[in-house]
Amino acid sequence: MATLTERELVERFSALGVVPVVTIDDPSLAPALGRALQAGGLPAAEVTFRTPAAADSIAELRAQCPDLLVGAGTVCDLACAKAAVAAGAQFCVSPGIPAEALDWCLSEGVPFVPGVATPTEVMRARERGVKALKLFPAQVLGGPALIKALAGPFADVHFMCTGGVRLDSAADYLAQPTVFCVGGTWVAPPTALASHDLATVERLCREASAEVARIRRAPAPHVA
Please write the tens of the pLDDT for every residue from 129-188. Answer: 999 999 999 999 999 999 999 999 999 999 999 999 999 999 999 999 999 999 999 999
Predicted pLDDT at 218: 67
d(CA 37, CA 151): 32
Taking the whole predicted model, whether its pTM rises above 0.85 is answered as yes
Question: Is the previous residue joined to 137 through a cis bond, with omega within 30 degrees of 0?
Answer: yes
Q: Residue ranges per domain, the chain?
A: 6-215
Q: What is the mean pLDDT of the chain?
A: 95
The 18-22 sheet, strands edge to edge? 112-113, 92-93, 69-73, 44-48, 18-22, 179-184, 158-161, 132-135, 115-116
Please give the CATH topology (third level) of the domain spanning 6-215: TIM Barrel (3.20.20)
What percent of the chain is modeled with pLDDT above 70? 96
Helix axes of 198-217 and 30-39: crossing angle, nearest 10 degrees: 30
pLDDT given at position 222? 44
User: Could you give the residue numbers annotated as active site?
Assistant: 46, 134
pLDDT of residue 87: 98
